[in-house]
Amino acid sequence: MGEFVSVEVADQIATIRLDRPKMNALNGQVQRELAEATREVDADPQVQAVIVYGGERVFAAGVDIKELADMSYADMSTHSRTLQACFTAVAQIGKPVIAAVTGYALGGGCELALCADFRVAGESAKLGQPEILLGIIPGAGGTQRLPRLIGPARAKDLIFTGRHVGAAEALSIGLVDRVVPDEQVYTAALEWAATFVGGPSVALRAAKQAVDRGLEADLDTGLEIERLQFSALFATDDAKIGMRAFTEKAKAKFTGR
């Protein structure tokens, strides 16, 4: 669909593919194309799971520093809104999203992976937030999504030092969820995504929203978010199908309605 970002759909799984040689640097054009791809897969009722993939060599090595280097405060005050909005759009896809991480996922690349629900990494993958080494801080969600995922102390370690972590350490601290041989990353992501195909898509969207919105609130507010989402699902065909199948000891065939 775009010059650097494409969407491929097969077996109800959409792959958002980054392809900007050499390192998938996330310049303004990539950000705009990524936001458009995100809207497309979120709105497509045939898509039940999404993979974000940068190819066999690299996930994304970050934003394009050459593009940012000459920006003023006024420039960045405007551009940073666009940057965050693009990543937030990925995080808000109402379907299970898996980042298939090969090679480097640094800076903006790591922040993009953080927007997924799950992360599969190759054994030689390197992740990190090296912005501090440039005299700046993460600006596409790293200071917010990273501590929510791995805890504040571990997040500060990565953000304050700018160091890269290998796949094994990333797995041990919860930054990635699975580590597989490099050549199996996309296949592993596909297999994981396939487990959501045929599922109750309305309930999956509700579950994702309840978890994500609940993490932003106090417990009482989170429980109210859950209660409202839970109750609303009783108006869906899928809830009736699922509970009827359970009582009849049959396999539910959900319709997504």
Catalytic annotation, residues: 111, 131
Distance (Å, whole) CA 171 – CA 166 = 9
Sequential DSSP letters for 122-136: ETT-EEE-GGGGGT-
Rounded-to-integer distance, Cα 99 and Cα 3, Å:
21
Q: How far is CA 163 from CA 129, 130, 131, 132, 155, in A?
A: 7, 6, 10, 10, 11
- Local structure of 224: helix, strand or coil: helix
Burial class (CB in 10 A: 0-12, 13-18, 19+), 41: buried
